[in-house]
Each structure stands twice: as C-alpha cells, then as structure tokens.
Amino acid sequence: MQIIHTIHELREWRKNAGTVAFVPTMGNLHEGHLALVREAKKRAGNVVVSIFVNRLQFGQGEDFDKYPRTLQQDAAKLENEGVAVVFAPDEKELYPNVEQRYNVEPPNLQNELCGKFRPGHFRGVATVVTKLFNIVQPDAACFGKKDYQQLAVIKGLVEDLNINIDIVPVDTGRASDGLALSSRNQYLSEQERAEAPRLYRELRAIADAVRSGNLAYAVLEQTAAQRLGEAGWTVDYIEVRRADDLSVAHAGDKNLVILAAARLGGTRLIDNIEVHLG
C-alpha cells in the first residue's frame, strides 16, 4: 500500500492503475468506513481512500480543530483491507490559494435538514468531493447512507455535471445496540453512549407506524421529538421525506426515508431509516 501526499504523485500512479474505486473520508476510521472499503473492493481492481479533514464543511463553532487526526492508525487498518493507495494531502496541497475561489454550489436542498443547522456545509462537501473526483478519476465511489443528505447531494452533483463515476450507496454500519457508527461517537460520555441508541429506536418506531398505515407524518415526527426531548436530547429535526430526492413526503409516496439529527450533550448525532411501501 502506498501513502501519497501530493496530487502530482497520485496522478502519476493513476496513469497505470486500471480500474479504481474511491472512498473519501476525513480519517479517524471505524468499522463503518471499512465497510465502504470492502464494497469498493468489489467494484474495481484498486481502491483509493482519501484522508482529509475538510475545513470548508465545518461551520463556525464546530469541531474542525479537535477533529481527530489518526493517519498512522488509519493507514494500518486500510493496509489490512488491501487498499492500494491512501491519499492524504495537507491543506495547502488541496487548497493552494488558501481560500477556495470557485465553489460547487448545490441546489436549495443544501439549506434544508442538516443544511438548515450547518450553513455552507454541503457547499464545502460538494466542492471538496468534486476536487477529489478530478484528482483520483475513479470509476466508482462509495458513500455511506448514514449521511443520507450528503449522498443525495453527491448523486445530484455527478448527474448534473456529467461526471462519469458510479456512485455506490452503502448501508449504515451499526453497533450491536443499533447506534449508527460515527467518528463523533467517541465524544459521548459513558452515560450518553448508553442513551444514544434511543435515536435509532425512535426512527424505528416511526418506520413501524408508517408500515402499519399511519401516514400522519407530522404527528409521528412531533411525538418522537418530544420523547427525545424528555430524555435530555436537543432535537434539530426529525422528518419523513421522499427517498429519491428528499422532497417533502406525501400520502401515496412509496419510497421514504426518515431522517433525524439531535444533540446529546455536546455531540450531534444523525441517523435515518429507509421505508419502502407496497
């Protein structure tokens, strides 16, 4: 396995690499990331994993400075998975002009759901992913469904900008108690970690109700938010949306996703469940 730090060196490697599947990450890898790598291995002869903590997608007061940088440990995990290349550029390599002068601007979806609480986040995601796609030139790229809105933005970006990359959604990795795997789980105290699976349980309760024919989405959302609030959570949103484009769901829609973001102590957790009817 090679660890490459410069765009030039990666492009030189790419010339003779054959098929490539790509997994973009911010490092501090857990089992959920490794599941993306395993899916990528099914798609191409070589897997490239990027490790880059992208300042553009962090808002004011968010955890950019304290986000864990664990390149040595991450590289050991990726080598065990048979990854061909770890691309780990520094900030100056990826953003040589300090400020990114040209950005990729997603549609209004970027201002809804998580975007409502993290202004500019999805612009930062779309911009860095476009840069990485241009550098790596993969045949396929794997993204986790846990970040469902991010996945929707990336799918739209690839479609609208005619980027010839197969976007592969990968199911959310979960701990044995249902908590979605996330690098931010390590910020939870022992007591908060025991409480954290409640978010997934509330989403499952909504999903079960919808499958049973209860289409009063607003009531279901409000009830779940109230229960989380009573348990000490601060809820950003719980919403039922159409799975294909994340527009507001209506009776008669068959493919749905229930999305949530809520804070437990100082840690913001996100999760979702897909529901397919009929």
What are the sequence ranges of the domains in the chain? 2-170, 183-273
Residue 90: predicted pLDDT: 95
Q: Tell whether residue 115 is among the known ligand binding residues.
A: no
Residue 60: predicted pLDDT: 81
Residue 99: predicted pLDDT: 85
- On whether the pTM is more than 0.85, the answer is yes
Q: Tell whether residue 18 is among the known ligand binding residues.
A: no
C-alpha 93, offset from chain centre: 23
Instruction: Give me the active site residues, please.
Output: 33
Q: Tell whether residue 1 is among the known ligand binding residues.
A: no
Residue 156: predicted pLDDT: 97
CATH code of 183-273, in short, is 3.30.1300.10
- Give CA–CA dist 79/59, Å, rounded: 32
Q: Tell whether residue 259 is among the known ligand binding residues.
A: no
- Give CA–CA dist 215/227, Å, rounded: 19
Residue 34: predicted pLDDT: 97
Residue 59: predicted pLDDT: 85
Q: Tell whether residue 212 is among the known ligand binding residues.
A: no
User: Does residue 86 contact residue 4 with C-beta atoms inside 8 Å?
Assistant: yes
- Give CA–CA dist 11/103, Å, rounded: 22
SS3 201: helix
For residue 223, report the phi and psi dihedrals to the nearest 5 degrees: -65, -45
Q: Tell whether residue 26 is among the known ligand binding residues.
A: yes
Q: Which fold has domain 2-170?
A: Rossmann fold (3.40.50)
Residue 135: predicted pLDDT: 98
Amino acid present at 154: I
Residue 45: predicted pLDDT: 96
For residue 111, report the phi and psi dihedrals to the nearest 5 degrees: -100, 5
Q: Tell whether residue 211 is among the known ligand binding residues.
A: no
One pLDDT digit (tens) per residue for the chain, 278 residues = 999 999 999 999 999 999 999 999 999 999 999 999 999 999 999 999 999 999 999 988 787 888 889 999 999 999 999 999 999 999 999 999 878 899 999 999 999 999 999 999 999 999 999 999 999 999 999 999 999 999 999 999 999 999 999 999 999 999 999 999 999 999 999 999 999 999 999 999 999 999 999 999 999 999 999 999 999 999 999 999 999 999 999 988 999 999 999 999 999 999 999 999 98
CA distances from 259 to 1, 16, 103, 247, 249 (A): 37, 41, 27, 12, 12
User: Does residue 23 contact residue 40 with C-beta atoms inside 8 Å?
Assistant: yes
Residue 67: predicted pLDDT: 87
